Structure 1
Amino acid sequence: MEIPKRYEFGVIEPKWQKWWEERKLYSFNKADRTRPVYSIDTPPPYPSGELHVGNALNFSYIDFVARYKRMRGYNVLFPMGWDCHGLPTEVRVERTIGKTKRDIPPEEFLELCRKFTLEWIKPMREALKALGCSIDWDTEYVTMDPDYWRRTQLSFVLMYRKGLIYRAEHPVIWCPRCETAIAEAEVEYVNVRRKLYYFKFLLRDGGEVAVASTRPELLAACVALAVNPNDDRYVHLVGRTAIVPIYGREVPILSDEEVDPEFGTGVVMICTYGDKVDVKWQKRHSLPVMVVIDERGRMTDNAGPLKGLSVQEARMKIVELLKRDDYYLKEEEIESSIGTCWRCHTPVEIIPRMQWFVKTRELSRLVLEAARNVRWVPPHAYKRLEDWVESLDWDWVISRQRLFATPIPVWYCKDCGAEVVAEPEWLPVDPRRDPPKVGKCPKCGSTRMIGERDVMDTWMDSSITAAVHAGWPDSMDERLFPADLQPNGYDIIRTWDYYLIVRGVALFGKSQFKTALINGMVLKEGKMMHKSYGNYVPLMEAIEKYGADAFRLWAATAAKTGMDINFTWGGLEYARRFLTKLWNIA
């Protein structure tokens, strides 16, 4: 056979990709009991935009392992799925149509989400094929299918029966733009320059005390002042009563060892709620709760003259009022960290709401035991997971006040409030439209039932992928579970890896994977590429310019596992030239 003088990747690569696909060369042979099996829990991407070179780095790593294992004689399962639900899709749809979920009927919004998802799956699938990924496309699934609902809902029911899922009112992290609770793992912290305002509280028995806060708009939610018991400047204030400026409400002055004497004046407001420390202090000191911010980030009736204003507007207004009434002292700029929503990047709030939770704190010890039995590549990746687990103060909130997600399979009795959780044989079910398959409330006998309107966190879908690939719950192939390989970026160790282990321990008594292969992030101008940032390079652009082989060579040689890579076109050019030399030698 005559070899062309030039390596025409635009001709050769599609030819062989088509050849592989037509012959189903990479299909997993379930009937083959002669070869050892190697199973991969492929991370299901969000079909909410084109694949970029950061996504492709991850898939290149996976394909390197899959091809190597096949060459070593393994029967390899390299499956594929799409994580359809949740904020990534809903936020993109809202931005595309210029409306929010409030502006259109729920069914119409859901249909737009489904259509958007299907429209993006096709080009993303073609991009993975163009990259040369040896995926078994017969395994392809989408989490918005009713059958996947069934599996996710069954996992909910089984964990509920084990007492690992519960419903309660608790302060939760809330995105006012998306109008939903989000988990701690979905909060991105960013450093910002912001103002620290100094103002004074009068004391009931005479005198005054200065306080500093970055959030004076929470004055209406102030339920106490606190000082450090070892701060000699203020020990004489403990037990006395202060008067909240503008609002005239009396609050106690407490001592607490977690107060930082070096911050501001050393006197802090305890508000419900400015941050997670406020939640801790409110519980520790049995303080009342004043809710001053609503689900849309607007000030409530409790905020008095700030009612109806946005948080930013309220901040400016309260400073004006403090100046008017001679409470204002000064302000200065500081650098601090604020929590933002992982998808829309809006600053989050903490508000008390009735939600569904997984008892992750109760499972922490077992999760870490299971994680220590996993092989982490590189080894230091385990430390990221350990640090995350040990830092968690709250249980995992799994309910979302959105639409496009797996429904929570629960109804409530209108008369006594009892929870009616679906039986496994009822699944899949959508309580938003389907009645329960029981005639009356098992607790009080009432026939008046209402379905749960909230839906599940999308990580409830993707945290059972390893089990689903193995056939759970219908016909579990024990050769495939736990998965041999869990490949993902270090950015989702605290989400996907963590939740997979949590759910594995809860449902199966063990981790759902044996080895975690961790890649670093691809950076553009020093910042991680991300669809929501808009700072990415489309994978297809790289392939069309340099070919899949050049990209894969770049991915293989640019950095060690777990290390970040600064993307440059020069790196791909170097890889292309190297391949040309190799071709010429051949």
Structure 2
Amino acid sequence: MSDILEKMAKAYDPKPIEDKWYASWTEKGLFKARPGGDKSSAFSIVIPPPNVTGSLHMGHAFNHTFQDILCRYKRMRGYNVLWLPGTDHAGIATQNVVERRIAGEGKSRHDLGRDEFVRRVWEWKEEFGSRIINQMKKLGNSCDWDRERFTLDEGLSRAVRTVFVRLYEKGLIYKGKYIINWCSRCHTALSDIEVEHEEHGGKFYHVRYPFVDGEGWLIVATTRPETIWGDVAIAVHPRSEKAALAGRKVRVPLGGREIPVIEDIMVDPEFGTGCVKITPAHDPNDFLVGQRHSLEQVQVIDEHGFMNELAPGYEGLSIEEARKKAEEDLRNSGLLEKTEEMVHSVGHCYRCRTVVEPYLSEQWFVKAKPLAEAGVRAVEEGRIRWAPQQWEKVYFQWMENIRDWCISRQLWWGHRIPAWTCEDCGHITVSENDPAACEKCGSTKIVQDEDVLDTWFSSALWPFSTLGWPDETEDLGFYYPTSLMVTGFDIIFFWVARMIMMGLEFMDEVPFRDVYIHALIRDEKGQKMSKSSGNVIDPLDMIDKYGADALRMTLAALTVQGRDILLSTGKIETYRLFMNKIWNASRFALMNLEDGVPLSELSADSPLALHDRWILARTKTVCGEVSRLLDSFGTGEAARLLYDFVWGDLCDWYLELSKPALRGDEGPERKLAARTVIFGVFRDVLLLLHPFIPFVTEELWETFGFGGGFIEENAWPRWEDRPDYPGAAEKMGLFQETVRILRNLRAESRIAPQAFANQAFVQTEENSLLAEVLRENGMIMETLTKIRKITLLSPEEEKPAGSLSSQMESGEVSLVVGDILDIAAEIERLSQEMAGMRKNIEAGRRKLANEDFVSRAPAEVVEKEKDRLAENEARLSRIEENLSSLKRS
């Protein structure tokens, strides 16, 4: 064992450990899934595929750590685990990256042509696409890398085409005009998640619309006067006082066209003027109103973001220029009632920051409602469970009000839409394989649609396409449906809901049994991390500085279901210290596990001390509780429980209490028993910690020589059949409480940490459990508290004068200080403290009696004030008691 200690670094350094062990794990195929056997043993997760252009950020780090903890745990519980990795082709993001590269050559994608441009994107992907995968490995992801998928690889492309064709043949995919999010810079449609909203200053323009009959006008408030050119109606709510205006006609204040006043429930009668201009070509809500009332669609802004010929005198103006001109023209014509400054949310393209326009465009759509109905039923029937459950309601709300899904994007990088238009007869041929001729007239003059599919379309198939669908593969049969989907709340609609719809449609089964929605990672002040704010914490920097285990344990321990994670480098430093604690405790244990003495299982007659029985009972309890928590996705509670158990129970208490036995002070049999307990407990601790901190536990597992291959190849601790050691926890609780009180009394008396106090007394009933604990463990209690003699007194006996006391439920603990301290000086000090404490108590009571404070302050602030008052009152009671005792001396 001494040889091992010489090789074992004195301080924990993650750098030489992490790369070494990850290479060993992957070389030996530790994470490789092998389908077969009882399907009930399958546990599978498909990783939410990060963008191939991306770099590992804290959101990824948390998401992946959560999944990795569960996958490693399930392998140790005997499950057949598949954690399938992959990346997303990220249409807009990747195309923008490559367009910027070729722009550096003074060219555009149009100069290269479609085929050459796509070839250049694939070239870029081959060169840089593995970066994020390598970063995931640095975190310790135990994925089956042999099964890595990419949303544009050959197998997934085939799945995408198959799905498109089948949905089209069922009438669930169609081509039509619809309002979409449009980026005039990227020249493509955007999904809602690709639109990022920012607060911007603007104006409300209150505009007069004169009645055609010449009798006055009505007033409409708008933020976009340039779109007045596209107005086709004014809407009022049918049950508002403005409903009397319905049926009349007004004149559009720019251009002078006559338009009707109509009734529609879309109008909020309490907002603005109660009258809403309807511009179906430039607003998604207006578009739906237009469909309901069969209104004309007048499109006055073109795809480049400029006014067109339908706005005479404005043609060629940018939107901003047209807005200024509209304000000027309306004012000059006397039709601008007033303007009001306001702040509103403006959507921007998430890649190029261009303001996004609602744009009427011919696109491909999926009829979502029939698919959504099946998705709602699956959750209602309990076939999919949500955690936290509150997200179930959000899911239902969206699914029950779902709109058709725009799936086409005006890009070159992506799954090209498998539809060919005949130049002779106009028929559209949709086919899984490239057709040679029009299926209707046989003409060979067919042209494939220029658009590609929304990235979310291929991602929606991820749980089954990655397993080999449309082929009936062994992986698909064994691992589908997957067990769990872990993702953020921001993509419930764009990804989770669509995976559910597609899984039910094409597999006739849900894609996963459970959905875990994790919170956001924010900075320590609760602010969202962003480069512009300068508060981003880079996980790769943290791994380099503190190690992957410290970062993983931090993210796990800070997790509280339903709450955002407030992260700081200081918190990561805290869990780096935890790695040191485990390392140093292991060195201590190894120093006391000498070579040549076999350590077997404890026998029934092993001479166990109270602290031995207690740590064995605690280990059993912790094993069961951690297992229960991980089975219910409680990784945060499990991590915090293990942290407290290892740092507090094992290191601060048990190892300290075991030192006399390990030194041989209690005889050879007790020494062997203590060593055997330590050996077994450390084995369990490393197994329990491994899913959270795999690198350091693997290193220590080998150092201890526990055997059985890699730690993950060993079974999770079986706690169910172990002895309970009844009474050990209660007795140890009394022991710990007494020690804490004596240490506190020493600290309050300003006794130097290394100095010995002569005497202490514990007053309790002779037959009490506390008395039994003192009689059996008095010597070791004296050692821990540096008190030469601890004496039991009955409640009737008077405690010595010149002592400080503290009450506990089972009795009273007193420390004699008269022979150590200047009593007069101590009385003076305590008197001053008592005066200050009374002021604090009086202030606290006044604050809590103030109804204004209690009603307005956050609940946690009020609760903290109550706790502070209770602590101060308890401290005052102790001061008064101690003063009384000191004054008797």
What residue identity is the alignment partner of 2:418?
P
Could you say if the C-alpha distance between residues 236 and 473 of structure 1 is closer, same or farther in structure 2, counting changes exceeding 3 Å?
closer
Alignment of 1:39-58 (within 5 A): 39-58=44-63
Could you say if the C-alpha distance between residues 236 and 148 of structure 1 is closer, same or farther in structure 2, counting changes exceeding 3 Å?
closer
Is the partner of 2:125 in helix, strand or coil? helix
Could you say if the C-alpha distance between residues 399 and 533 of structure 1 is closer, same or farther in structure 2, counting changes exceeding 3 Å?
farther
1-side partners of 2:377 and 2:208: how far apart?
A: 50
Q: Which of the numbers 405, 417, 426 marks the counterpart of 2:414? A: 405
What residue identity is the alignment partner of 2:467?
A
Q: Which of the numbers 11, 33, 36 marks the counterpart of 1:6? A: 11
* 1:275 maps onto 2:272 in alignment: no
Q: Which of the numbers 236, 246, 253 marks the counterpart of 2:254? A: 246
Could you say which residue in structure 2 is the equivalent of 1:84? 89
1:501-531 superposed Cα distances (whole Å, 9 cap, x missing partner): 1111221223211111222111246454468
2-side partners of 1:168 and 1:256: how far apart?
A: 24
Between the two proteins, what is the percent identity of the paired residues?
39
C-alpha contact (below 8 Å) 2:327/2:336 kept by paired residues = yes
Q: Which of the numbers 209, 212, 217 marks the counterpart of 1:208? A: 217
* 1:522 maps onto 2:518 in alignment: no
C-alpha contact (below 8 Å) 1:158/1:507 kept by paired residues = no
C-alpha contact (below 8 Å) 1:344/1:532 kept by paired residues = no
2-side partners of 1:509 and 1:305: how far apart?
A: 57
C-alpha contact (below 8 Å) 2:91/2:414 kept by paired residues = yes
1:145 Cα offset (Å): 2.4
2-side partners of 1:486 and 1:531: how far apart?
A: 28
* 1:442 maps onto 2:447 in alignment: no
C-alpha contact (below 8 Å) 2:173/2:367 kept by paired residues = yes
1-side partners of 2:108 and 2:236: how far apart?
A: 43
Could you say if the C-alpha distance between residues 382 and 189 of structure 1 is closer, same or farther in structure 2, counting changes exceeding 3 Å?
farther
More off after superposition, 557-566 vs 525-534: 525-534
* 1:386 maps onto 2:432 in alignment: no
1:32 Cα offset (Å): 6.0
Could you say which residue in structure 2 is the equivalent of 1:459? 456
Q: Which of the numbers 139, 155, 162 marks the counterpart of 1:131? A: 139
Aligned residues: 572
Could you say which residue in structure 1 is the equivalent of 2:506? 507
1:329-367 superposed Cα distances (whole Å, 9 cap, x missing partner): 221123434444444444332222222111112222211
1:7 Cα offset (Å): 0.7
What residue identity is the alignment partner of 1:409?
P
Alignment of 1:479-518 (within 5 A): 479-518=478-517
1-side partners of 2:483 and 2:256: how far apart?
A: 63
2-side partners of 1:304 and 1:10: how far apart?
A: 69
Could you say which residue in structure 2 is the equivalent of 1:368? 376
Is the partner of 1:484 in helix, strand or coil? strand
2-side partners of 1:194 and 1:42: how far apart?
A: 42
1:401 Cα offset (Å): 0.9
2-side partners of 1:146 and 1:532: how far apart?
A: 39
Could you say which residue in structure 1 is the equivalent of 2:793? none
Could you say which residue in structure 2 is the equivalent of 1:433? none
Could you say which residue in structure 1 is the equivalent of 2:33? 28
1:171 Cα offset (Å): 2.7
More off after superposition, 575-584 vs 251-260: 251-260
1-side partners of 2:55 and 2:168: how far apart?
A: 37
* 1:256 maps onto 2:261 in alignment: no
1-side partners of 2:304 and 2:259: how far apart?
A: 28
Q: Which of the numbers 200, 203, 212 marks the counterpart of 1:195? A: 203
More off after superposition, 240-249 vs 252-261: 252-261
What residue identity is the alignment partner of 1:68?
Y
1:280-303 superposed Cα distances (whole Å, 9 cap, x missing partner): 221122211100112222212112
1:112 Cα offset (Å): 4.0
1:168 Cα offset (Å): 2.1
1:118 Cα offset (Å): 3.4
1:31 Cα offset (Å): 5.4
Q: Which of the numbers 177, 183, 191 marks the counterpart of 1:169? A: 177
More off after superposition, 315-324 vs 190-199: 190-199
What residue identity is the alignment partner of 1:458?
T
Alignment of 1:507-586 (within 5 A): 507-524=506-523, 526-529=526-529, 536-586=536-586
Could you say which residue in structure 2 is the equivalent of 1:414? 423
2-side partners of 1:237 and 1:386: how far apart?
A: 37
* 1:149 maps onto 2:148 in alignment: no
1:525-583 superposed Cα distances (whole Å, 9 cap, x missing partner): 64544689996433211100110000000111112244321221111111111221121
1-side partners of 2:101 and 2:528: how far apart?
A: 23
> Which structure carries more helix by proportion?
2
Could you say if the C-alpha distance between residues 348 and 103 of structure 1 is closer, same or farther in structure 2, counting changes exceeding 3 Å?
farther
C-alpha contact (below 8 Å) 2:172/2:366 kept by paired residues = yes
2-side partners of 1:566 and 1:257: how far apart?
A: 43
Could you say if the C-alpha distance between residues 154 and 576 of structure 1 is closer, same or farther in structure 2, counting changes exceeding 3 Å?
same
2-side partners of 1:256 and 1:34: how far apart?
A: 54
What residue identity is the alignment partner of 1:451?
Q
1:73 Cα offset (Å): 0.6
Could you say which residue in structure 1 is the equivalent of 2:23? 18
Q: Which of the numbers 315, 321, 342 marks the counterpart of 1:307? A: 315
1:229-271 superposed Cα distances (whole Å, 9 cap, x missing partner): 3443x44533222111231111112233332233222222111
2-side partners of 1:449 and 1:531: how far apart?
A: 48
C-alpha contact (below 8 Å) 2:180/2:361 kept by paired residues = yes
1-side partners of 2:526 and 2:199: how far apart?
A: 16
1:104-131 superposed Cα distances (whole Å, 9 cap, x missing partner): 5333432443344334432212211111
More off after superposition, 374-383 vs 92-101: 92-101
2-side partners of 1:536 and 1:110: how far apart?
A: 33
Could you say if the C-alpha distance between residues 446 and 125 of structure 1 is closer, same or farther in structure 2, counting changes exceeding 3 Å?
closer
Is the partner of 1:40 in helix, strand or coil? strand
Q: TM-score, normalised by structure 2?
A: 0.61
Q: TM-score, normalised by structure 1?
A: 0.91
Is the partner of 2:75 in helix, strand or coil? helix
Is the partner of 1:84 in helix, strand or coil? coil
RMSD (Å), alpha carbons:
2.4
C-alpha contact (below 8 Å) 1:220/1:247 kept by paired residues = yes
1-side partners of 2:139 and 2:502: how far apart?
A: 32
Could you say if the C-alpha distance between residues 230 and 535 of structure 1 is closer, same or farther in structure 2, counting changes exceeding 3 Å?
same
Could you say which residue in structure 1 is the equivalent of 2:306? 298
2-side partners of 1:116 and 1:445: how far apart?
A: 39
> Which structure carries more strand by proportion?
1
1-side partners of 2:528 and 2:129: how far apart?
A: 23
Is the partner of 2:420 in helix, strand or coil? strand
2-side partners of 1:103 and 1:384: how far apart?
A: 46
What residue identity is the alignment partner of 1:73?
G
Is the partner of 1:301 in helix, strand or coil? coil
Could you say which residue in structure 2 is the equivalent of 1:395? 404
C-alpha contact (below 8 Å) 1:173/1:184 kept by paired residues = yes
Q: Which of the numbers 367, 380, 387 marks the counterpart of 1:377? A: 387
Q: Unpaired runs of 5+ in structure 2?
A: 587-889
1:103 Cα offset (Å): 6.5
2-side partners of 1:309 and 1:104: how far apart?
A: 30
C-alpha contact (below 8 Å) 2:424/2:445 kept by paired residues = yes
What residue identity is the alignment partner of 1:244?
V
C-alpha contact (below 8 Å) 1:48/1:116 kept by paired residues = no
